C-alpha cells in the first residue's frame, strides 16, 4: 500500500488554480493505491506572484470526489462535509475520509 502526500501541482505554480468558481482537479496516485488507504484531502491556499490586494481562497469545499479503480471505473469517495472555508495564503484545510455506507 502506498503512503504519502501527492499534489495536483507538484512544484509547478503554473498548475495551481488561480480563478474563482468550480473546478476539477486530478491527482496522479501510485498504481498500488487502494481506496481505503486515502484518509484525507488537503486544500492549500498559495499566494499569487503579484497580488493587487490580499488574496483569499473563499468558499472552499469538496463537492464530489472520485477515484478510478484498477479497471478505470470511477468510484465515488465520501469525505466529511464542512461549511465552506476561507483560507489565507499559507493556510490549509483537511477533509477527512468517511468509509462505509452513507
Domain ranges of the chain: 13-98
Higher pLDDT, 5 or 99: 5
- Classify burial at 64, counting beta carbons within 10 Å of its beta carbon; exposed 0-12, middle 13-18, buried 19 or more: exposed
Residues whose CB falls within 8 Å of the CB of residue 65, separated by 6 or more in sequence, listed in order: 41, 76, 77, 78, 79
List pLDDT tens digits, range 16-30. 777 777 878 888 888
Reported residue count of the chain is 102
Mean of all residue pLDDT scores within the chain? 79
Name beta bridge partners: 65.
77
Q: Does the pLDDT value for residue 2 go beyond 70?
A: no
pLDDT for residue 101 = 44
Q: pLDDT tens-digit profile of 18-72?
A: 777 787 888 888 888 887 788 888 888 888 777 667 777 888 888 888 888 888 8
Amino acid at each position: 500500500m502506498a503512503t504519502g502526500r501527492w499534489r495536483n501541482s507538484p512544484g509547478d505554480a503554473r498548475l495551481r488554480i488561480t480563478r474563482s468558481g468550480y473546478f476539477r482537479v486530478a491527482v496522479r496516485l501510485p498504481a498500488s493505491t487502494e481506496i481505503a488507504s486515502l484518509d484525507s484531502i488537503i486544500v492549500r491556499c498559495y499566494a499569487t506572484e503579484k497580488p493587487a490586494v490580499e488574496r483569499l481562497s473563499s468558499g472552499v469545499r469538496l463537492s464530489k470526489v472520485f477515484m478510478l479503480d484498477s479497471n478505470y471505473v470511477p468510484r465515488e469517495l465520501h469525505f466529511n462535509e464542512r461549511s465552506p472555508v476561507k483560507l489565507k495564503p499559507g493556510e490549509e484545510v483537511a477533509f477527512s475520509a468517511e468509509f462505509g455506507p452513507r
